[in-house]
Structure formats: structure tokens, C-alpha cells
Structure 1
Amino acid sequence: MSTYFQPQKYPAAEFASTGATGEALPVVVVGAGPVGMGVALGLAQRGIPVTVLEAADQVSFGSRAICISRHSLEVAARLGFGPELEKIVLPWVGGRSFYRDEQVLHFEMAHGEHDVRGPMVNVSQSEIEQIMTDTLLAHPLITFHWSSSVAGILRSDEDVTLDVDTAFGARRLRARWVVAADGGRSRMRELAGIRLQGNSYQGNYVIADIHWESTLPAERMVWFDPPSNPGSTIIMHQQPRDIWRIDYQLDRSDDAELETQEDRIRDRITRHLDWLENDVPWTLEWHGFYRAHALALDDFTHDRILFAGDAAHLVPIFGVRGLNSGMEDAETLAWTLAAVVHGTADESLLQAYSAERRAAWQQNVDNAGKSTLIMSPGSHGYRTTRDAVLALATTRPEFGHLVNPRQSSATHAHLSPLTWPVAEGTTGLLPGDPMEDRRVRVVTADGSVESSLNRVRGTGFAVLGVGVDAAGARMIAAHASALAMALSPESVRAVVVPAPGAVVDAAADLTVLDDPDGVLPTALGASAGECFVIRPDGLVLCRVRDLSLLGDVHDHLKTATAPTLGVVPAHTETTATPDDLLRENVWMGLSEALDQAEESDREGFLTRLALLLGSRSGLREFEEALAAAAHVSGKVCSGTPRHSHVDA
């Protein structure tokens, strides 16, 4: 029997309009996807009443986004729905890619003994939304209106008026701030008269969920040009309760309308499962259609309308950055908007949100764009080199890294106007970097107990000192208390790792970590006496050695500025080796050159290139390269699946 998730429907509820003379609502959130609900939870957590408008009468149906990163699970924990979510997820750590029937890549995402959570889990977006909805409906500061779509907007300097179509007729709501989180086809974006800018990629994908009691491992599996569907690319992911997500690419000549009919989808999936020698019955539960986009608004803030998630930006599906980047948007927008609503910061803080999250979109596009050029190459040059890379990778494993999906990881905010500079040459965890959750031990009256950095630092700001003595610990606690008063009702916690031999007593305003071996300072790359200020969204705001500088934190936050002395933190996006980077540059450079070459001269171009490069290498190396290229170009696919690659 299928265990596919069926969302609950919600009745529409009558509500009254808010007139021009009445008090405006503090915040209205348009859109009850994960991003909109994340913003609502973050605001309500900070004591701000929120009204949520959703055009549908239920959460979304179908898996949609399924891969949830470690960082998004941390966000979920801070927003209050993490424990329920983590009960139902399916963890995974890596995956395999195949060219026809040959394995060309086996990757594992980073994970270690001190990590609280694994690098990635799978669960359908609809189930995430249901858990979030249950959390919202139970919160006394959140008012939820289903079947309520925005039909018009009217903006002033002080508020935004929304005309809302409901099951009971037209209503009007006036709000001081409106968060537009209504998805990729955002009605709020349309009404505001703004458009996404960027690129759309060639390549159409059908996505489908099937119920299939398979014994294949829970990992990302990709087949390029499989014998079951020649010329296509097929992606498979397991979800909880024997649901499998299958994505496959359509040929440019395929009729998308025809290929999205259920009989054609069943035929494609049947051919692939038969090739895998499947004898287990399966059912088609849901299907959709996808095309890759890399689009964003130039500015995520438009007067008193603030855009987040897919309403603000779209990223290609590859590397699973859509929902994960949206959750980052939600948490950052929640604490910055709350500070403005409470009057502890200027509206310039919202411009900082916009600058940060647009820069984060660019980070995601830079990584996802490379994955898209492999998964769905949109030009002759990239198609030619992609196929060559795959063929080479069957016998030359060093080329396999080019097929790596570059899975989503937390973005940084190094160029944010909020991020403090550091002294030149500073290494380790830098301002603007995310501080991921780690296992720690906390000193209590009954001895040390296991906890995590996320639980210790709470949902607000934290001031973390490492290698400090008793006097330094007291100074950190005092600065944290002063910052808490200035940012009220935002919480601020003080946490310290004592220096070796130092005696630091835990107190109500100070958490002391038991770390005699200096594991945490080493992981942070910090020396004795340094202090980190961590933002509510987990990013490091500043890293200072002079503890008196902590007294300046609120002034800089209030005006969305950072000190000017020092250097912008350096950041390396990749752990790739120099040889890996060289191959990546060669792949992309050759692809671009092929696209620029005259069609009638492509063979001549490649011959001249080979002669030039061959003349710079030894005869033996050149002959080996010729033999390797001839070997893979002459390979013939056997058409027989090699299960040893996927059953391991």
C-alpha cells in the first residue's frame, strides 16, 4: 500500500478589513511555503504578531524540494520545528554517478564525529510544510488565513494596503511591513511591477514520485545516457516510507506537453527500472515539470515590501539550493525585520538583508551553474565537453570530480555591510562564515553534560570567548548583558571556553564549556583570548581580540555598518586540489572556445589545439593521451546494468 503524503485541507475563515484610520498590522506575510512560514515563526519568536495569507487551502502537494541540508536543519531547530522534522527524515551522505553503465563518480559530503547532524536528509517539501503549519497554528501570535489571495497593493511611506480576495469576498488589510514569500510565480512581484533578472538554462526535466519498495541505498544516483533512456539524464533519490523521486531530462526535440502525460512518464520509468532488473511493483504518485533558472531581483527590499525565497530569486535545481537558500533568507529576514519593528535598528538593516541574500544567491548560482552545465549543457561546446568528460572518467577517475553535484552548503556574508573586518592574515572561522552546530560539553553543578553549540547559544545573538580567564569571562558576560538590553527582546547569551588551568564558574548569565583539550578553539582556528559574536542566523558577525570592542557591536548593528579598519575576510569556496581546478578551467575554457569556433571549422580548431598542446609535452605523454582518447571514444555500451556499483 502506498504511504504517499496527503496534505490536510483547511477551511477559509472570515476576517475583518483593517481600515485606513485603524492601527496597521505589524507584519503580513504573503505565502505559506517554507520561507514565508519561517519568517512568521522567527518574528513571532521575537514577540511580533504576524498575519499569514495563503491562496491555497492546503500545503503543497508532491515532493518538490526534497534534499534538506544540515544548515537548514539547524534553522529548523532554531525556529522551533526541528525536533518534529528530524523524526521523519531520511539521512544520506553521498552518491554515485554513471555514464551509460559505468560508474564515474562516488562522492561523500563532509561529516565528522563532532557534527550534531549528518550533511543532508531527504523529506518531501509538503511534509516540511505540514509540520511548519502545525507549529504556526499553535502559536498565539500568528494568524493564518487560507484561501486568501492578494489582488492589489497600495503603498505609502508608512504602510502597505493589501486588497485580498477571500471565500467571503474582498477584504482589505493594512500593514506596516509586508513579506512577499509567494514563490517563483509571485503575484506580489507582479503587483509591485518588478521582474527577476538573469538567465534561464536549456533543458527540461520531468520530476516524478513513485512508491517503490526497493533495496537500493539511500544515496543520490545519476545516470548519464543510460541504456534504458539513451540521450537522457536520470536522477534518483530515496525519500522516507519507500517513496522515490525520479528526475529525467527531455531531449530538446521532445514535446514537453506530450512527455508530461502519465502514460509517457510511466513508460520512461518502467524502462529504467526494468534495466535495473526490478521485479518489485511500483505506483506513480505525483509528477511535475522543471526548467533551470538563475534569476533574481536587483533589490530584495521595495519600500515596505520585502521579498524572500523564490519570490526574490530562483536557482537551478542541481545542488539542491532552492529551499535551503530560502530557509537562510527566512532566518536572516526574521531577525533583521524584528530589530527594525522593535526600534533597535534603523531600516538600513533591511538593506543589509537585501545585499547579503542577493550575494548569497550569486554564490549559489556560481556553484549550481557549474552543475547545470554538466547536468543540462545548453550549447554545442558544453555538450561536447560534458560527453568527453564522462567518457574519460570511465577510465581516468581524476575527471570524475567535474561531475560532482556540488551539494548545497551554508552561504557566507563576507561582503555584508554588517560583517566586521579582520586583521590581515587571520585564518580559521572568519566573520561572515556560518558557525555550524557542534557537539560540546557544558559545565553544570553536577558535572559536565553533553549538549550542542546550537542549543547553548540559543536563537538570538551569542558572544563566544575562547581561551579566556575568569576576568575575561566576566567581561564577556557584562558585554552580552549590555547588548541584550540594547537589542531587547532579542536574546544574547555569553559562552566561554576557559584557558587551560583557568577556573571560570558558570552563572545565570554565563555558560562555560568543558573543553580541556581545546577541541573547539582548534576547530575555529582561534587563539587564546579571542571572542566571536554570532548572529541569530548562525553567521559570525565579528571576531575580536580586544574585548572592549564588544561595546561597539550595537552601534554598528543599529546603523547596519561595520568598522572600517582591517581587511575583508578572505574565503575559499572550494576544497578542490590545484589539479582539480586546472581541469575545471580547461573544461570551461574549451567549452567556450568550441562555442565560439565556426561550425565548419570545429574539427580543424581541435586539431590545431592538439598540435599546440602536444608540442609542449613529451612524445611519450602525447602518445599516452592519444591512446586514452582513442580508447574511450571507441567504447561501446554493453546495455547491461552493473549492479555492483549501486548495491554497495
Structure 2
Amino acid sequence: MSTYFHPPKYPATDFTSMTAGDEPLPVVVVGAGPVGMGVALGLAQRGIAVTVLESADQVSFGSRAICISRHSLEVAARLGVGPELEKIVLPWVGGRSYYRGQEVLHFQMPHSEHDVRGPMVNVSQSEIEQIMTEALLAHPLITLHWSARVVGVVRAGKEVMLDIDTAFGARTLRACWVVAADGGRSRMRELAGLRLQGNSYEGSYVIADIHWESKLPAERMVWFDPPSNPGSTIIMHQQPRDIWRIDYQLDASDDAAVETQEHRIRDRITRHLEWLENDVPWTLEWHGFYRAHALALETFTHDRILFAGDAAHLVPIFGVRGLNSGMEDAETLAWQLAAVVHGTADEVLLQAYSTERRGAWQQNVDNAGKSTLIMSPGSHGYRTTRDAVLALATTRPEFAHLINPRQSSATHAHLSPLTWPVAQGTTGVLPGDPMEDRRVRVVTTSGTVESSLNQVRGTGFAVLGIGLDAAAADVIAAHAAALAMALSPESVQAIVVPRAGVEVDPATDLTVLDDGDGVLSRALGASDGEVFVIRPDGLVLCRVRDVSLLGQIHEHLRSATAPTSGVVPAHTEAGATPEELVRENAWMGLSEALDQADETDREGFLTRLAMLLGSQSGRREFVEALAAASAVSSKARHSASKHSVVDA
């Protein structure tokens, strides 16, 4: 029996009384997806009344986004929906990729004993939305209206007027601020006369959810050119309660209208499951269609309309960055918009939101773009090199890293106008970096208890001092208290790690961590006397030694500036070895060159290239390279012949 989630429908509600007052609503959020609801929860946490408008009468149907990163789970915890969400998710840590029938990659995402959560979990977007909906409906400061479609927008000075179609007729709302989080086909974006800019990729994918009681492991599985569907790419993910998500690529010559019919989808899935020697019955629960895009608005802030999530930007599905980046948008926008509404920051702070989150979109596109060129190459050059990489990886595992999906991770804000510079040569966790949750030991009057950095610092700012004595700890507490008054109602928590051999008593305004083994200090790359200020969205605002500088934080936040002395933190790609970078550059450079080569002279181009490269290497190395390429070619021909017999 299927356990597929079917969301309930919600009745429309009238809100005539809300349109009659003289004062505009503080904030209206358009769109009740995870991003819009995340913004609403974050604002309500900070004492701001929010009205949410959703054109549908239920949460989305189908898995849609299913892979939720560790960082998004941290965001969910800070928004108050983490415990309920983590009850239903399915954790996973890695995956496998296959070329035809042979495994060519087995990857595992970074995970250590000090991490509070695993690197990734799977759960249907519709179930995430249902949990968030229940949180919204229970919050006294949030009003959620279903079946409320925005049909007109008028911007007038410090207000926005929204014309809305409802089940009760036409209505008009006046708002001080409007957050447009109404998805990739944003009506708000259309009404504002805005267009996304960037690139769209050629590859098209059918996506489907099936109920299938399989014993396959919960990991990301990808087949390139599988015998079950030659020429296609198939992705499989397990979800909770025996629901499996299957994505498969259509050929450029396929008619999408035909291939998205249920009988064609069932046929494709049946062929693949039979090839996997499946004898367990399954049911098709939902299906959709997808094309990869890398598009964004030039700026996410347009007067008093603020764009977030897919309404502001689209990223390719590969690497699961869409929903995860949207959750980051929501948390960043919530605390920054709240500061503007409460008057603790100027409106220019919202330009910082736009700068940060568009920069984050670029980071995601840079990584997802590489994954897309492997998963869905859009040109002859990239198709040729992708197939060559897959074939080489069957015998030369050093090429497998090029197939790695580069799974989503938290983005940085190094180039934000808010991020403070650091001294030349500073290493470790830098301003603009995410401060990930990790296990910590909290000193209490009755002993040490296990906790996490996320729990300790709460939902607001945190001032974290490393290697301090008792007097310096008191100074940290005083600065945190002063900052809390300046940023009210935003909370500010003081946290200290005492210097070795020093005892600091915990207090109501001071949390003391036991780092006797130095694990936390080493993870941060910090030495005694350094202080980190962590933003509500988990990013490091600054890292200083001169504690007196903490007194400047509020004014810098108010004006969306940072000190000018020091150097801008530099981001370096983690994990890539020099040899891997060489192979990546060779793959991308050769792809581009093939695309630029004359179609009638591609073989000649490759021959000349091989001659030039061979003349620059030793005889033994060149002979070995020729033998390896020949062996792969022979293996590929044999494999193709074998598959053609099976298909026949």
C-alpha cells in the first residue's frame, strides 16, 4: 500500500477587515513555498506581523526538491521547524555513478564526529512545506491566506499596493514591504516588469516519484548510458516511506509532449527496474518535467519589493542547490529586513542582502555548472569529453573526480559590504564563511553538558571569544549586552572559551565552553584572544583581536558598511588537489576547443593536439597514454556491442 504524501487542501479566507485600516501592513510575503514561509517565520520570531499570500489551496504536490543539506537543516532548526522536519527525513552520505553497467565513482560527502547532523537528507518538498505551514498557522503574528492570487502591483513611495483575486472577490492590500517568493514562474516578477538573465541548458529531464519497496541503499545513484535506456542519464534517490525519485534525461530528438505521457514514463522506468533485476511491484505516484537553468535578476531589491528563492534566481538541479540556496535567502533576508523594519538599520542594508545572495547564486552556478556539463552536456565538445571521461574512469579512477556531483554546501559572503576584512595571512574560518553547527561542551554550575554551537548561540547574533581569561570574558559579555540593546529585539549571545588553565564562571549573560582538548579552537584556526562575531544566518561577520572594535558593529550594520583596514577574505576551493585541477582544466579546455574546431577537421585537430602533447612528454609516458586510450576504446566497443545484443 502506497504511503505517498497527499497534502490537504485549505479553505480560502476573506481579509476585508485587513484592507480597511489606515496603516499599511508591515510585511506581505507572496508565495507559501519553503522560502516564503521561511521569511515569514524569521520575521515573526523578531516580533514582526506578516501576511502570507498563496495562490494555490494546498502545499505543492510531488517531491520536487528532495535533497536537503546539513546547512538547510541548521536553518530549519533556527526557524523553529527543525525538530519536526528531522523526525521524517532519510539521511544519506554519498553515492555511486555508473557508466553503462560499470561503477566509475563512489563518493562520500565530508562528515566528522563533531558534526551535529549528517551531510544530506532526503524528504519531499511537499512534506517540508506541510511542516512549515503548520508552524505558520500556529504563530499568532502570521496570517496565511490560500487561494489569494496577486494580479496587480503599484509602488507608491514607501508603500506597495497589491491587487488580489480571492474566492470572495477582488481585494487590495497595502504593505510597507513585499517579499516576492512565488517561485520560478513568479507572477510578482512579471508584474514588476523584470526578467531573469543568464543561461538555459539544452538537457531536459522527466522526473517521477514511485512507491517501490526496494532494498537498494539510500544513496545517490546515477547511470550514464545504461543498457535499460541507451544514451540517457538516470538518477535515483530514495525518500522516506519507500518512495523513490527517478530522473531521466530525454534525447534532444525526443518529443517532450509524448515522453511526459504516463505510459511512456512507465515504460522507461519499467525497463530500468527490470535491468536492475527488480521483481517488486511499484506504482507511479507523481511526475514532472525539468530543464536546467542558470538565471537571476540583476538585483534582488526593487524599491520595496524584495525577491527571494526561485523568484530571484534559478540554478541547475544538479548538486541540489535550488531549495538549499533558497533557505539561505530566507534566513538572510529575514534578519536584515527585520532590522530595517525595527529601525536598527538603514534601508541600504537590503542592498547588502541583494549583493550577498546574488553572489551566492554565482557560487552555486559555478559549481552546478560543472556538474551540469557532465550530467547534461549541451554541445558536441562537452558531450565528447564527457563520454571520454566516463570511459577513462572505467580503468583510470583518477578521472572519477570530474564526475563528482559537487553536492550543495553553504555559500560564503566574502564580498559582502558587511563582511569585515582580516589581517594578511589569517587562516581558518574567515569573515563571510559559514560557522557550521558542531558538538560542544557547555560548562554549567553543576558540571559539563553536551550541546551544539547552534543551540548555544540561538537565533540571533553571537560573540564568541577564544582563549580568554575571566576579565576578557566579562568584556565580551558587556559588548554583547550593549549590542543587544542597540539591535533589539535581535538577540546577542556572549560565548567564551577560556584559555588553558583558566576558569571562567558561567552566568546568565555568558555561556562558557569547555575546549580543553582544543578541538574547537583548531577547527576555527583561532589562537588565544581572537573574537568571532556570528550573524543570525550563521555567517561570520568579523574576526578581531582588538575587542574595542566590537563597539563599532552596530553602526557598521546600520549603514551596511565594514571597516576598510585589512584584506578581503579570500575563498579557496576546498578539496581539489593540483592534479585534479590539471585534469579539470584539460577537460574544460578541450571541450571548448572541440566546439570551436571545424566540424570537418575534428579528427585532424585531435591528432595534431596528441602530437604536440606527445612531443612534450617522455617516450614511456606517451606510449603508456596511447595504450590506455586504446584499451578504453576497445572496451567501449565491446561494451556497446554487448548492449546492442541485449537491447535487440
Give the aligned partner of residue 645 of structure 1. none
Give the aligned partner of residue 179 of structure 1. 179
Give the aligned partner of residue 141 of structure 1. 141
> Amino acid of the residue matched to residue 154 of structure 1?
V
Is structure 2 residue 160 aligned with structure 1 residue 160? yes
Structure 2 counterparts to residues 189-268 of structure 1, below 5 A:
189-268=189-268
> Amino acid of the residue matched to residue 214 of structure 2?
S
> Amino acid of the residue matched to residue 72 of structure 1?
S
> Amino acid of the residue matched to residue 16 of structure 1?
T
Is structure 2 residue 373 aligned with structure 1 residue 384? no
State the SS of the aligned residue for 2:110.
Answer: coil
Structure 2 length-normalised TM: 0.98
Is structure 2 residue 582 aligned with structure 1 residue 582? yes
Q: For the residues of structure 1 that align with 2:580 and 2:158, how far apart are their CA atoms? A: 53
Q: For the residues of structure 2 that align with 1:600 and 1:297, how far apart are their CA atoms? A: 40
The runs of 4+ residues in structure 1 deviating greater than 6 Å are 638-641
Structure 2 counterparts to residues 555-594 of structure 1, below 5 A:
555-594=555-594
> Amino acid of the residue matched to residue 409 of structure 1?
S
Q: Is the 8 A contact 1:17 1:171 kept in 2?
A: no
CA offset at residue 621 of structure 1? 1.0
CA offset at residue 637 of structure 1? 1.9
Once the two structures are superposed, residues 500-545 of structure 1 have per-residue CA deviations (whole angstroms, 9 ceiling, x without a partner) of 0112110010000111111111110000010000000000000000
Cα distance change of structure 1 residues 640 and 69 upon mapping to structure 2, 3 Å threshold: farther
> Amino acid of the residue matched to residue 226 of structure 2?
P
CA offset at residue 574 of structure 1? 3.0
Is structure 2 residue 474 aligned with structure 1 residue 474? yes
Q: Is the 8 A contact 1:18 1:172 kept in 2?
A: no
Q: Tell me how large the CA RMSD over aligned residues is.
A: 1.0
Q: For the residues of structure 1 that align with 2:390 and 2:21, how far apart are their CA atoms? A: 66
Q: For the residues of structure 1 that align with 2:468 and 2:18, how far apart are their CA atoms? A: 54
CA offset at residue 445 of structure 1? 1.3
> Amino acid of the residue matched to residue 69 of structure 1?
S
State the SS of the aligned residue for 2:10.
Answer: coil
Cα distance change of structure 1 residues 227 and 505 upon mapping to structure 2, 3 Å threshold: same
Cα distance change of structure 1 residues 640 and 80 upon mapping to structure 2, 3 Å threshold: farther
Cα distance change of structure 1 residues 239 and 145 upon mapping to structure 2, 3 Å threshold: same
Once the two structures are superposed, residues 531-569 of structure 1 have per-residue CA deviations (whole angstroms, 9 ceiling, x without a partner) of 000000000000000111100010100000000000000
Once the two structures are superposed, residues 244-266 of structure 1 have per-residue CA deviations (whole angstroms, 9 ceiling, x without a partner) of 00000000000000000000000
Which of 613, 636, 639 pairs up with 1:637? 639
CA offset at residue 20 of structure 1? 8.3
CA offset at residue 446 of structure 1? 1.0
State the SS of the aligned residue for 1:328.
Answer: helix
State the SS of the aligned residue for 2:16.
Answer: coil
Give the aligned partner of residue 540 of structure 2. 540
Once the two structures are superposed, residues 7-39 of structure 1 have per-residue CA deviations (whole angstroms, 9 ceiling, x without a partner) of 011000111165587100000000000000000
Q: Is the 8 A contact 1:101 1:640 kept in 2?
A: no
Give the aligned partner of residue 275 of structure 2. 275
Q: For the residues of structure 1 that align with 2:225 and 2:356, how far apart are their CA atoms? A: 39
Q: For the residues of structure 2 that align with 1:166 and 1:531, how far apart are their CA atoms? A: 52
> Amino acid of the residue matched to residue 104 of structure 1?
V
Structure 1 length-normalised TM: 0.98
Give the aligned partner of residue 288 of structure 1. 288
> Amino acid of the residue matched to residue 415 of structure 2?
L
> Amino acid of the residue matched to residue 637 of structure 1?
S
Is structure 2 residue 69 aligned with structure 1 residue 103? no
Give the aligned partner of residue 311 of structure 1. 311
Is structure 2 residue 616 aligned with structure 1 residue 610? no
Give the aligned partner of residue 46 of structure 1. 46
State the SS of the aligned residue for 1:201.
Answer: strand
State the SS of the aligned residue for 2:200.
Answer: strand
> Amino acid of the residue matched to residue 260 of structure 2?
T
CA offset at residue 571 of structure 1? 1.2
Q: For the residues of structure 2 that align with 1:468 and 1:33, how far apart are their CA atoms? A: 44
Q: For the residues of structure 2 that align with 1:537 and 1:149, how far apart are their CA atoms? A: 30
Q: For the residues of structure 1 that align with 2:631 and 2:17, how far apart are their CA atoms? A: 73
Q: Which runs of 5+ in 1 are unaligned?
A: 642-648
> Amino acid of the residue matched to residue 402 of structure 1?
L
Give the aligned partner of residue 486 of structure 1. 486
Q: Is the 8 A contact 1:236 1:246 kept in 2?
A: yes
Structure 2 counterparts to residues 395-544 of structure 1, below 5 A:
395-544=395-544
State the SS of the aligned residue for 1:634.
Answer: helix
State the SS of the aligned residue for 1:64.
Answer: coil
Once the two structures are superposed, residues 386-434 of structure 1 have per-residue CA deviations (whole angstroms, 9 ceiling, x without a partner) of 0000000000000000000000000000000000000000000000000
State the SS of the aligned residue for 2:454.
Answer: helix
Structure 2 counterparts to residues 113-132 of structure 1, below 5 A:
113-132=113-132
Q: For the residues of structure 1 that align with 2:501 and 2:471, how far apart are their CA atoms? A: 14
Q: For the residues of structure 1 that align with 2:633 and 2:366, how far apart are their CA atoms? A: 31
Q: Is the 8 A contact 1:227 1:639 kept in 2?
A: no
State the SS of the aligned residue for 2:639.
Answer: coil
Q: For the residues of structure 1 that align with 2:241 and 2:218, how far apart are their CA atoms? A: 12
Once the two structures are superposed, residues 573-610 of structure 1 have per-residue CA deviations (whole angstroms, 9 ceiling, x without a partner) of 23110000000000000000000000001010000000
Q: For the residues of structure 2 that align with 1:135 and 1:468, how far apart are their CA atoms? A: 40
CA offset at residue 639 of structure 1? 8.8
Once the two structures are superposed, residues 174-205 of structure 1 have per-residue CA deviations (whole angstroms, 9 ceiling, x without a partner) of 00000000000000000000100000001100
CA offset at residue 570 of structure 1? 1.2
Is structure 2 residue 562 aligned with structure 1 residue 598? no
> Amino acid of the residue matched to residue 202 of structure 2?
Q
State the SS of the aligned residue for 1:40.
Answer: helix
> Amino acid of the residue matched to residue 172 of structure 1?
T
Q: For the residues of structure 2 that align with 1:638 and 1:333, how far apart are their CA atoms? A: 52
Once the two structures are superposed, residues 275-320 of structure 1 have per-residue CA deviations (whole angstroms, 9 ceiling, x without a partner) of 0000000000000000000000000000000000000000000000
Q: For the residues of structure 2 that align with 1:127 and 1:558, how far apart are their CA atoms? A: 38
Q: For the residues of structure 2 that align with 1:278 and 1:519, how far apart are their CA atoms? A: 47
Q: For the residues of structure 2 that align with 1:130 and 1:471, how far apart are their CA atoms? A: 48
> Amino acid of the residue matched to residue 522 of structure 2?
T
Q: For the residues of structure 1 that align with 2:12 and 2:20, how far apart are their CA atoms? A: 24
State the SS of the aligned residue for 1:582.
Answer: helix
> Amino acid of the residue matched to residue 343 of structure 1?
G
**Percent identity (aligned):** 83
Is structure 2 residue 60 aligned with structure 1 residue 60? yes
State the SS of the aligned residue for 1:637.
Answer: helix
CA offset at residue 640 of structure 1? 8.7
Is structure 2 residue 552 aligned with structure 1 residue 552? yes
> Amino acid of the residue matched to residue 162 of structure 1?
L
Once the two structures are superposed, residues 447-492 of structure 1 have per-residue CA deviations (whole angstroms, 9 ceiling, x without a partner) of 0000000000000000000100001100000000000000000000
Q: For the residues of structure 1 that align with 2:641 and 2:563, how far apart are their CA atoms? A: 62
Q: Which runs of 5+ in 2 are unaligned?
A: 644-648
- Mean Cα displacement is larger for which, 572-581 or 365-374? 572-581
Q: For the residues of structure 2 that align with 1:3 and 1:15, how far apart are their CA atoms? A: 36
Give the aligned partner of residue 644 of structure 1. none
Q: For the residues of structure 1 that align with 2:234 and 2:641, how far apart are their CA atoms? A: 16
Q: For the residues of structure 2 that align with 1:573 and 1:302, how far apart are their CA atoms? A: 32
> Amino acid of the residue matched to residue 247 of structure 2?
D
CA offset at residue 89 of structure 1? 0.2
Q: For the residues of structure 2 that align with 1:20 and 1:430, how far apart are their CA atoms? A: 49
Q: Is the 8 A contact 1:17 1:172 kept in 2?
A: no
Q: For the residues of structure 2 that align with 1:549 and 1:639, how far apart are their CA atoms? A: 70
